[in-house]
Amino acid sequence: MTSPTIALIGYRGSGKTTIAQLLSRQLGWDWVDADVEIELQAGKSIATIFAEAGETFFRDLEVAVVANLCQREKCVLALGGGAVLRAENRRCLADCQAIIWLKASEEAIFNRISADPTSSDRRPNLTNRGGRNEIQQLLAEREPIYASCATLVVDTENKVPARIVEEIISAMRG
């Protein structure tokens, strides 16, 4: 059964949190950032979780949080960039009204992450490469998964957040 929930997916720095806030305001819905929920439940930052327990432990926490969040109604979910990697999360997301991939180029993502002074604290490197090389590698791995999950793809390149929200609302109204 489809729940009136919208999930935003895409690589880190693609604008999921910003768009979730604006879209939820337009719809009169709640919004939740899955990464913030994970931090609240764990009582520590994502960077600390990765450093102390590793990515597998983090992804296990993420599965539990995503399962809980997908049960909410009238909620816009901003999911972590790797949430779609786990089949359990993809199954939960299938029940959402819409799964929207906020797509951005490697260059745009790099520029956005670089411009965010809190990025290194909030977003640990997921490979030993870091920077552009990491973005390139992970986009190559994840984009096919984002594409297979998405019910709507929105290119965020060179667009202000308000325009992206307009596109989403217009597409959902059909």
The domains of the chain are located at 3-173
Is the separation of the CB atoms in 70 and 114 below 8 Å?
no
**Which phi and psi (to 5°) does residue 9 adopt?**
-120, 165
Banded pLDDT at 7 (limits 50, 70, 90): very high
Using an 8 Å Cβ cutoff, are 85 and 149 in contact? no
The CATH number for 3-173, chosen from 3.90.1150.10, 3.40.50.300, 3.40.50.10860, 3.40.50.2000, is 3.40.50.300
Contact 24, 76 (CB under 8 A): yes
Q: What is the pLDDT of residue 3?
A: 62
Nearest-angstrom CA–CA distance, 96 and 9: 12
33-92 tens-digit pLDDT: 999 999 999 999 998 999 999 999 999 999 999 999 999 999 999 999 999 999 999 999
| Two structure tokens written together for 153 | 């793809």
Q: Kindly report, residue by residue over 90-112, the tens digit of the pLDDT.
A: 999 999 999 999 999 999 999 98
- CA 152: distance to chain centroid? 14
Decide if pLDDT at 137 tops 50.
yes
For residue 173, the model assigns a pLDDT of 87
Tokens 């919208």, located at residue: 6
Residue 94 sits at φ, ψ, to 5 deg, of -60, -20
CA-nearest of 169, 171, 170, 174 to 28 is 169
Q: DSSP letters of 41-98?
A: HHTS-HHHHHHHHHHHHHHHHHHHHHHHHTT-SSEEEE--TTGGGSHHHHHHHTTEEE
**pLDDT band at 1, cuts 50/70/90?**
very low
Q: How confident is the model at residue 113 (pLDDT cuts 50, 70, 90)?
A: confident
